[in-house]
């Protein structure tokens, strides 16, 4: 089992690097425990709120979902997700971002080709919200 102090140090270091990237893009980012939130501008007068669950990070891959910015709760409503995303029909529950390096991708495909650092994941999410990323797929998540 990994040393909890070393795991926390790795998370804190990656979070600081991620925060610099978010600031570079003019994006607000904060954390509550091992949950990281990114408030992403998306078009005119539209704001998206991404949540990255980093429980067990860096050993365990993170999970990403988008929240209703008002209620701060996960939402499957398309207006709370970046445009161009594709939902895969399936079980009821909240959708999670299916992106290589996330737990959701590994669960859907049996493996993940890479494990993104938190800062890489933050940059991908910001660019996706800004419309500068390829289409991403969503798979049914767990509540």
pLDDT given for residue 112 in this prediction: 61
Residue-level pLDDT at 129 = 85
Dist. CA 138–CA 97, nearest whole Å: 5
- Residue ranges of the chain whose pLDDT lies below 70: 84-93, 112-115, 132-143
How many residues in the chain? 143
Q: Which H or E element spans position 13?
A: helix 4-24
Q: What is the value of pTM for the model shown?
A: 0.84
At residue 143, the pLDDT reads 37
The pLDDT value given to residue 93: 63
User: pLDDT value at position 114?
Assistant: 63
Shortest CA distance to 64 belongs to which of 137, 10, 4?
137
Beta bridge partners of 40: 48
Q: Where are the domains of the chain?
A: 4-140
> How many Å apart are CA 14 and CA 93, to the nearest integer?
29
DSSP letter at 110? S
């Amino acid at each position: 089992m990994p040393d909890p102090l070393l795991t926390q140090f790795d998370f804190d270091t990656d979070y600081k690097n991620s925060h610099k990237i978010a600031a570079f893009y003019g994006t607000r980012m904060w954390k509550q425990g091992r949950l990281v939130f990114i408030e992403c501008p998306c078009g005119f007068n539209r704001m998206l709120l991404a949540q990255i669950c980093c429980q067990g990070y860096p050993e365990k891959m993170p999970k990403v979902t988008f929240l209703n910015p008002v209620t701060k709760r996960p939402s499957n409503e398309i207006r709370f997700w970046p445009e161009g995303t594709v939902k895969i029909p399936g079980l009821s529950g909240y959708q999670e971002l299916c992106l290589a390096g996330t737990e959701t991708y590994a669960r859907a495909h049996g493996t993940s080709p890479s494990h993104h650092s938190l800062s890489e994941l933050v940059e991908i999410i910001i660019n996706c919200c800004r419309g500068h990323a390829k289409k991403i797929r969503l798979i049914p998540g767990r509540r």
